[in-house]
Structure 1
Amino acid sequence: MDERGAAVVVEDDADIRTLLAGLLTQSGFEVHQTSNGTDGVRAVMEHDPVIVTVDLGLPDIDGFEVARRIRRVTDAYILMLTARTEEIDTLMGLDAGADDYITKPFRPRELRARIEAMLRRPRVQQSAGPAVNGELWSTSNAPLSSQAGHGMSAGAISAPGTAPSAAPTPYSAATASEAATRHEEISYRLDGLELFPNLYRVTVEGVDVQLTPTEFILLRTLLTSRRMVRSKAQLFRTLRDEEPDAGTFVSDADERTIEVHMGNLRRKLGDDPRRPRWVETLRGVGYRSAGLPQAGDQGL
């Protein structure tokens, strides 16, 4: 395995597939290539990649459906590639779970820059689960120290309101103490929602909510900004790992992607934009938290 982990390229054009594989290999990834969506989803499940590139126009299932299927099993970064220039296609890709998109033809330097910008975003990782009968339990059978991986293994994560498919593993008092020390930090709480920055974990009324890395960053930014309004341009610069007020160019399409990501975030949280509990929109200005978050010990 190369230093940065695995990457999967889902692309039916052989020349572009070779180009993408070469760029990712040069960036330190072990690359696995597929020419159709079905094999691409299978490769993702087999290799647990850090990043996946998905072509929109595939011979069997389209890139939207591929992204949706991939997003169900992993929090890998998804970069959508499309030859279509219509904005609706880009927005549909983001809505399907992609983190970013790039249109063909593209410059290799631009593609590499977008990949590096995505990799600077935190990834949503599973952490220790809630205390049960006074003991700390894990959502997988691996020790907490080995759960720094990025994939969501089958059976390790349950949908809200359902039981885990595998029995949880209790931790010893020493392991729990070590875990608490390693992850000790403040959390941000607002009206039943709680966000743990270092654990990349979000709960609503105590139930874990699975967010993409992009959605997590947006929510974290709003909560840590307290009631300060953040414009769409500021939020997009934050996703590029820039200072919000850096003044770098942000296109109308980039701002529209923020709207799509915020819509997906609200949907996953169950937040009604007409009566917001957590994310408030100020039309023509931007977004802010709907209340003043409280900071405190995470108290797992």
Structure 2
Amino acid sequence: MRISEPRSVVVVEDDADLRAIYREMLERDGWEVRVFENPDDALRAIVARLPHVVLTDVNLNGQSGRELARTLRSDERTAGLAIVAASGSVIPTTPLLRMFDTFLRKPVDVTTLGAVLREVVDRRFAMD
């Protein structure tokens, strides 16, 4: 299946500087980017307009990236989304890795972030 361009990503990150960096680098790489500080706002936006992929920090203020992934995986409308975790403090365990398509260690290499997300989306859509 051919994936429509531009590819879209929802970024959920509570660090304002990282949100800005992710947006800039991903837009430069041709992604349509929507950024959110809070997972509740992100969830509403995701359900309203599905992205190709969700990139979420694991440790967020309020609901965690883990809880966001669990919510997305349990809803038939969003269960098939590609979801990527990012963390500098969480050690990925097997149960955690099962919730996400891939796990990125912070600091994330933003120069290759778009390519990593593209690979995850391609893998996820190939499974359909």
Residue 15 of structure 1, CA deviation: 0.7
CA spacing shift, 1:112–1:41, aligned 2, 3 Å:
same
Of 21, 24, 27 in structure 2, the residue corresponding to residue 25 of structure 1 is 27
Residue 84 in structure 1 maps to residue 89 in structure 2 = yes
Aligned to 1:108, the other structure's residue is in SS state: coil
Structure-to-structure mapping, 1:140-179, within 5 angstroms: none
Partner of 1:40: 42
Aligned residues of 2:26 and 2:113 also touching (Cα < 8 A): no
Residue 87 of structure 1, CA deviation: 3.5
Note the residue ranges of structure 1 that are not aligned, 5 or more in a row: 125-196, 201-300
Partner of 1:11: 13
Partner of 1:94: 97
Q: Distance in 1 between matches of 2:21 and 2:121?
A: 19
Runs of 4+ in 1 over 4 A off after TM superposition: none
Aligned residues of 2:65 and 2:85 also touching (Cα < 8 A): yes
CA spacing shift, 1:31–1:112, aligned 2, 3 Å:
closer
Structure whose residues are more often helix by fraction: 2
Q: Distance in 1 between matches of 2:100 and 2:124?
A: 15
Counterpart residue type for residue 6 of structure 1:
S
Residue 104 in structure 1 maps to residue 109 in structure 2 = no
Deviation sequence 1:128-147 (CA, Å, 0-9, x none): xxxxxxxxxxxxxxxxxxxx
Residue 113 of structure 1, CA deviation: 3.2
CA spacing shift, 1:70–1:122, aligned 2, 3 Å:
closer
- Size of the aligned set, in residue pairs, is 122
Partner of 1:243: none
Same amino acid, percent of matched pairs: 30
CA spacing shift, 1:77–1:87, aligned 2, 3 Å:
closer
Aligned to 2:48, the other structure's residue is in SS state: helix
CA spacing shift, 1:93–1:27, aligned 2, 3 Å:
farther
Counterpart residue type for residue 118 of structure 2:
E
Partner of 2:125: 123
CA RMSD in angstroms, aligned pairs only:
2.1
Counterpart residue type for residue 71 of structure 2:
R
Aligned residues of 1:80 and 1:93 also touching (Cα < 8 A): no
Residue 121 of structure 1, CA deviation: 1.3
TM-score scaled by length of structure 2: 0.82
